C-alpha cells in the first residue's frame, strides 16, 4: 500500500476530528496538543499520548501524508 492514496471510510470521534481540522493548517504537534488540552481541559501529557495514538492509527491506514 505504500504510496497509494487513502480512499476509504474511517470511524472516529470528536478528538480525531479536532486533530484533522488542526492539521489542515500549517502547525506544529506542540500547538495541536496545546489547542486540544485547552479545548478538552486535559493535561498536556494525556493529550500528547492521545495525539500519538491518533497519528499512529492514521499512518497505519495510510490516511496521512508526510
Residue 1 has pLDDT above 50, yes or no: no
Provide the number of structural domains found in the chain.
1
Domain range for 21: 14-60
Residue 58 has pLDDT above 80, yes or no: yes
26 within domain boundaries:
yes
User: Quick one: pLDDT at residue 6?
Assistant: 53
Let me know the angle formed at the C-alpha of 61 by 38 and 9, rounded to the nearest 5 degrees: 80
18 within domain boundaries:
yes
42 within domain boundaries:
yes
Q: What is the pLDDT of residues 3-50, one digit of tens each?
A: 555 555 556 788 888 888 888 888 899 999 999 899 888 888 999 999
Q: pTM here?
A: 0.69
65 within domain boundaries:
no
What string of H, E and C letters represents the secondary structure of the chain?
CCCCCCCCCCCCCHHHHHHHHHHCCCCCHHHHHHHHHHHHCCCHHHHHHHHHHHHHHHHHCCCCCC
41 within domain boundaries:
yes
25 within domain boundaries:
yes
5 within domain boundaries:
no
Amino acid at each position: 500500500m505504500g504510496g497509494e492514496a487513502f480512499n476509504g471510510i474511517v470511524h472516529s470521534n470528536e478528538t480525531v476530528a479536532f486533530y484533522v481540522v488542526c492539521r489542515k493548517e500549517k502547525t506544529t504537534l506542540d500547538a495541536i496538543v496545546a489547542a486540544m488540552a485547552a479545548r478538552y481541559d486535559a493535561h498536556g501529557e494525556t493529550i500528547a499520548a492521545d495525539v500519538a495514538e491518533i497519528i499512529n492509527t492514521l499512518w497505519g491506514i495510510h490516511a496521512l501524508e508526510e
